[in-house]
Amino acid sequence: MGFLPFKIGFSAGWEDMCICVDCRWVDRCKAYHAVERQHGVAHLNESPDIEPIEPRIFISVMDMPGGESGVEWDVRACRSFLADHGRWMRLRPGEEIPK
Ligand code: SF4
């Protein structure tokens, strides 16, 4: 596993959403690109060019049907966050926000 340019926390049972979906930089951000990879979803941009400042990525362990466990990656804080409510949804109209 390579070097990760952000801090990671761990939690269990948190319900909060990733703040990136409402961030101006979501389609240009290298940290969100990594989150997309962990979620196994299509990238908004194959070549992100913004290195965010101190993104805090939380890894949540979730109970799944059938007694299995799943893992969610979410950014919960970031010094580069610039509010742009609904930006992800405008970039991918009609699609469900990755969870
Ligand atoms: S909140 Fe930070 S990590 Fe998330 S998209 Fe914005 S700049 Fe990137």
Domain ranges in the chain are 16-91
pLDDT at 14: 44
CB of 25 closer than 6 A to ligand 1? yes
Q: Taking Cα atoms as reference points, which of 83, 91, 71, 62 lies closest to residue 20?
A: 83
| Confidence bin at 5 (pLDDT 50/70/90) | low
CB of 81 closer than 6 A to ligand 1? yes
CB of 34 closer than 6 A to ligand 1? no
pLDDT tens-digit profile of 47-70? 999 999 999 988 888 787 888 888
Q: Taking Cα atoms as reference points, which of 72, 65, 68, 23 lies closest to residue 48?
A: 23
CB of 48 closer than 6 A to ligand 1? no
pLDDT at 81: 97
Do residues 4 and 71 touch, judged by C-beta distance below 8 A? no
pLDDT of residue 12 exceeding 60, the answer is no
pLDDT of residue 29 exceeding 50, the answer is yes
pLDDT of residue 80 exceeding 90, the answer is yes
Residue 95: DSSP 8-state: P
Residue 65 Cα to ligand 1 midpoint, Å, equals 31
pLDDT at 95: 92
